[in-house]
Structure 1
Amino acid sequence: MTAVTPAHTDPPTDLWPAPYARGAVDATVTVPGSKSVTNRALVLAALASEPGWLRRPLRSRDTLLMAEALRTLGVRIEETVSSSSSGAGGSGEAWRIIPSPLRGPATVDVGNAGTVMRFLPPVAALADGPVRFDGDPRSHERPLHGVIDALRALGARVDDEGRGALPMTVHGAGGLDGGKVEIDASSSSQFVSALLLSAPRFNQGVEVRHVGSRLPSLPHIRMTVDMLRAVGARIDEPEHGGEPNVWRVAPSALRGRDLVVEPDLSNAQPFLAAALVTGGRVTVPDWPERTTQPGDELRRIFTEMGGSCELTEAGLTFTGTGRIHGIDVDLGEVGELTPGIAAVAALADSPSTLRGVAHLRLHETDRLAALTKEINELGGDVTETEDGLHIRPRPLHGGVFHTYHDHRMATAGAIIGLAVEGVEIEDVATTAKTLPDFPGMWTEMLGA
C-alpha cells in the first residue's frame, strides 16, 4: 500500500547525537515502573471505597497527567517516600490514593496519553458536574469514538460536536446506569479497558461486546481484567469460558490495594536490544516470572532474532551473539514493541516481516509511515504493507532520525545509533512520556 508520509512540522532544532557502541555492552539497567499498570492502578484506587497505596509508580509525563487529572476531579493523591518492604523493591517512592466524591466543573489535560484520554471519560461520567477534556494537537487526531459512543449508549451526556475525538465535555450526573453496549475496538483495545475499569461503579455494571475486526493488544485487556479482580470486581471474560469478545462486569465496591508496580517491560526493550545489537549482555532487575505486560514477549522475539535470555531471582539477563537474524512475526497483541523490533530488524542479516499492526497508524504518530520514512532516509529499505512492515536490511548511514513527538520512535533511533555512526535523534526529550531520563540511562549503560 502507499505510505502516508508524516510531516515535519518544524526544522529539527534539538538534536541528540545517538551514542555509537565501540564494543559489547555489559550493564545492569533498572527500569522504572510500568506506565500501563500505574495508570490503571490510579483509576481503580480513585474509584475504590477505601484508601490504597501505589509503590514504585512510574513518574513520567503520562502518569503525572493521570494523577493530576484525578486530583482535578477531587481525588487526594499524597506522594511520600515509603520504607515498606512490601513486595519487590522495598523502600522507594509511594503514592497514597484517598478516594473522594468526584466533582466538576473541571478541565482535564490529557497531553497525548491514550490511557488518560480514554480511561477518564467514564470516570468523569460518575462525577457531579461537567468535565472538559483537551490535550496536545495530536490528541485531537487519535480515535475516541469507541468511548464516546459507548458512554452515550450507557446513559451519559457527551458534547464532542460530532468529532468522535477531543476536545469534548462529559456532563457527569453523579452516576451512570450502565448496561449492555456494543463497540468497535479494532483501533484501540483501550476502548474496552476504559469501560471495564469504571464498570463496577455503574448502577448495572456493564456488558461490553466488541463487534469490529481483530481486537489488538489483548494483553492490555488481560491486565485490566486481572487488576480489577485483584480489587474485588466480578468479571466474566472470554479467556475463562466466557462468550468470545464479550466482557461482563457486575456492580460492586472496590477495595483499596497496596500494590508494588512491576518494571515497565516495554521500556526495557531498547536496553535488551542493545545487548542483541552489540553482542553484549544486559540485566534488568525485578523482571516478573509471570505478568500480563506485553513486553514479556521480548524474551521470545529477541531470542528468535539471535540472542538468549535467563530469568533468575536477580532479574532477566539477555545476551547477544553479535549476529541478528530477520524475523517473520505477528505483533498484533504487542504492537507497542514494533518500533524497537523494526530498528533491530534494519540491522539484521536477513529480511523481516512485521504483521498485525495496522492500528499503529493511530498511535502517538502514524508509526508505520514514520518508521518507513526514517529508516529509509538512513539508507534502509522498508516497505509498508497493509498491516505492517517489510524490512530488507541495507548498509545504513548517519543522519537525523525524526521522532514526531513519539517516545518509541526516539528509542528506535537510539537502537540504530548503536551500530551506525552519526545518527542524531530529534527531540529525544519526548521519551519522558514513559521513560524519564532515557538519555542518561542510555549513556550510563554504555559506560559513557
Structure 2
Amino acid sequence: MPVNPAHTALWPAPYASEAVDATVHVPGSKSVTNRALVLAALASEPGWLRRPLRSRDTLLMAGALRELGVGIEETVSSSSSVAGGPEGTGEAWRVLPAGLSGPATVDVGNAGTVMRFLPPVAALADGPVRFDGDPRSYERPLNGVIDALRVLGARIDDDGRGALPLTVHGSGALDGGPVEIDASSSSQFVSALLLSAPRFNQGVEVRHTGSSLPSLPHIRMTVDMLRAVGAQVDTPESGGEPNVWRVTPGALLGRDLTIEPDLSNAQPFLAAALVTGGRVLIPDWPARTTQPGDRLREIFTEMGGSCELTDYGLVFTGSGSIHGIDVDLGDVGELTPGIAAVAALADSPSTLRNVSHLRLHETDRLAALTKEINELGGDVTETADGLHIRPRRLHGGIFHTYDDHRMATAGAIIGLAVEGVQIENVATTAKTLPDFPDLWTGMLGTSGV
C-alpha cells in the first residue's frame, strides 16, 4: 500500500520569538457533535446542528449514519444566520431521521466515538452492518460494547476478537434491559449504550463493575444531552446507585442545537499563552459545560497563568513562568499530552496521575510522550498510571505523532520554546482540529486582540 506523503512530511513547528497576543476561534466540539449526530439520527423528528465540527471523526460519523439511511443535509451561508441560526458562518447540518437499514458498511477510521457509539445503533437497523477502520482501530478495545450488546439481544460476528472488524446483524429492534460491563478502559462503553437506549424495547440499566471509570465528564455530557432531547435518565449524581445508569424507553425530540467550541482543542492555544507569557482569547467559552477541557482553566492557572471568563469568552494570560504540577487527570485524560508538553518546559517536576487508560487511545500516549520528549533531551519516565516529568533543557529534533492528533499539538507546544522542532505528520490534527497549522501560525502572527 502506498504511503500517504502527509504521513511522512515534516512540519517546522513555529518558534515564538515574543509573547503571543491573539484571538483564536476554536471549531466546535467533536464529542458534542458526534453525540448530537447520534441522538438526532434516533429522534422522532428532524433536528438542526449549528456550528458542527467538520473534521475526520465527525465526517466519518455523518457518513456512517448516511450509510444507515439517515438524511444529513449540510448548509453553509455567509449571512448572519441560517434558518434562525446563530451569528457567524451560518454552517448547519439538518438531520432527517429515517428507518435504519442494512446492508451497510461503516468506516470508523480511528474514531473511538464512531467505533463504539454506532454498533448499538446498527443493532436497531434492519439488516447487517459491517464495521471496519484503520489498522490501529483493530487494537483498540471494543469488547465492552460487543459483550453488552449480546447480553441485550444483539447478534454480532467478531470472530472472538472483541475488536474490529465486526458485523452487527440488525433486526430492527433490540430488547435492552440490565447489563454489567467493565468500562475501566473507556467511558465510551457506557456512553455508547446510553445514547441508543431510549430506542431499546426495555431501555437499559448499565452497571459498571470495574475498579475505576475514566473520563466521567464525558458520561455526564452524554446524560445531559440525552435529557435535553427528552430522555429520562437516572444516574449516580441524581440519587441513583453508584456506577449505575438507567435510561427509560421513549421517543427522542428533534433539537436545534448550537455546538460549543471544543475546549480540549483550545488547549494548545491556551498553552501558547502560558509558554510565551502572552495572552489568548477563546471566544464563546461556555459558562457551564460538561466538556473535560473546561478544567484547563484550573490546571493551567496552577501551572502559572491566570484566566478571566467574560461575556465574550475566556481570556488566558501567562505570567512568564511555568510551574510543575502534581495532578490526577483520570477524568480528563485527553488533556495529558498538552499538559505533559507544558510540564517539560516548567521550572519544577510534574507528576501526571491516573491515566493508564491512555495506553489504549489513538496510540499508547504514555509511551509516545515519554519517547518523543526524551528524544528532544527531556527526562520523562512512565509510572504505573501516568508520567513523571523532570524538566531539562530541550533541543530540536523530529517529534513523531503516531497518527495521533494530540501528539501533534503537544509537539507544537514544545516548538514554541525550542527551536528546530519538526512535527511528523501534522496533518493528523485534521482528526478533530481542521486547519490546525493555519490556526497556529495565525495565532503567532496576530499582534493584538
Q: What is the TM-score when the length of structure 2 is the normalising length?
A: 0.96
Partner of 1:24: 19
Check conservation: 1:283, 1:318, Cα contact below 8 A.
yes
Q: Output the CA distance in 1 between the equivalents of 2:148 and 2:6.
A: 40
The residue aligned with 2:156 is 158
Which among 109, 115, 124 is matched to residue 111 of structure 1?
109
- Out of 365, 368, 372, the position equivalent to 1:367 is 365
> Residues 298-377 of structure 1 correspond to what in structure 2 (within 5 A)?
298-377=296-375
Amino acid corresponding to residue 420 of structure 1 in structure 2:
V
| Residue matched to 1:35 | 30
Contact 1:309-1:319 within 8 A present in 2 as well: yes
* Higher deviation after alignment, 236-245 or 12-21: 12-21
Q: 1:51 aligns with which of 22, 27, 46?
A: 46
Q: 1:264 matched to which residue of 2?
A: 262
Corresponding pairs, count: 440
Q: Which of residues 428, 431, 440 is equivalent to 2:429?
A: 431
* SS of corresponding position for 1:228: helix
1:68 maps to 2:63: yes
Deviates more, 1:90-99 or 1:361-370: 90-99
Structure 2: how far apart are the matches of 1:64 and 1:120? Answer: 14
User: 2:187 matched to which residue of 1?
Assistant: 189
The answer on whether the counterparts of 2:68 and 2:125 sit within 8 Å (CA) in structure 1 is yes
Preserved CA contact (<8 Å) 2:50 2:85? no
Q: 2:423 & 2:380 partners in 1: Cα distance?
A: 19
Question: SS of the counterpart of 1:446?
Answer: helix
In the TM superposition, residue 55 of structure 1 has moved relative to its aligned partner by 0.3
Quick one: which of 245, 248, 261 aligns to 1:247? 245
Deviation at 1:284, TM superposition (A): 0.2
State how far apart, in whole Å, the 2-side matches of 1:86 and 1:25 are: 36
Indicate conservation of the 8 Å contact 1:196/1:224, yes or no: yes
Q: Distance in 2 between matches of 1:167 and 1:438?
A: 31
Which 5+ residue runs of structure 2 have no aligned equivalent? none
Deviations 1:162-221 (A, max 9, x none): 000000000000000000000000000000000000000000000000001110000000
Q: Cα distance 1:163–1:432, how it changes in 2: closer, same or farther (>3 A)?
A: same
Alpha-carbon distance between aligned partners in 2 of 1:380 and 1:240, rounded to the nearest angstrom: 45
Which has the larger displacement, 71-80 or 91-100?
Answer: 91-100
Counterpart position of 1:5:
none
Displacement of 1:314: 1.0
Tell me if structure 1 keeps the 8 A contact 2:411–2:421. Answer: yes
CA contact (8 A) 1:86 1:260 kept: no
**Separation (CA, whole Å) in 2 of partners of 1:87 and 1:445:** 27
Q: Residues 376-412 of structure 1: CA distance to partner in whole angstroms, max 9, x if unpaired?
A: 0000000000000000000000000000000000000
Question: 1 CA distance for matches of 2:134 and 2:335?
Answer: 23
Q: Does 1:392 align with 2:386?
A: no
1:402 alignment partner in structure 2: 400
Distance 1:368 1:130 in 2: 37
How far apart are 1:139 and its partner, in Å?
0.1
**Aligned AA for 1:104?**
G
Write the distance in 1 (CA, Å) between the matches of 2:54 and 2:283: 18
Cα distance in structure 1, aligned partners of 2:50 and 2:94: 9
Whether the 8 Å contact between 2:82 and 2:91 is mirrored in structure 1 is: no
Q: Are residues 1:77 and 2:72 paired? A: yes
TM superposition shift of 1:72 = 0.1
Give 1:89 deviation, angstroms: 4.0
Partner residue, 1:4: none
Cα offset, 1:11, TM superposition:
12
State the Cα deviation string for residues 88-135 of structure 1 (Å, max 9, x = none).
545520000000000000000000000000000000000000000000
Q: What per-residue deviation string (whole Å, max 9, x for no partner) do you get for residues 243-287 of structure 1?
A: 000000000000000000000000000000000000000000000
Residue segments in structure 1 that go unaligned for 5+ positions in a row: 1-8
Q: Which amino acid aligns with 1:209?
A: R
Distance 1:295 1:349 in 2: 24
Name the TM-score, length of structure 1 as normaliser.
0.97
Correspondence for 1:234: 232
Cα distance in 2 for residues equivalent to 1:251 and 1:11: 46
User: How many percent of aligned residue pairs carry the same amino acid?
Assistant: 85
Q: What is the DSSP-based 3-state SS (H/G/I as helix, E as strand, rest coil) of the residue aligned with 2:91? A: strand
Q: Which residue of 1 aligns with 2:218?
A: 220
Does the CA-based 8 Å contact 2:82-2:92 persist in structure 1? Answer: no
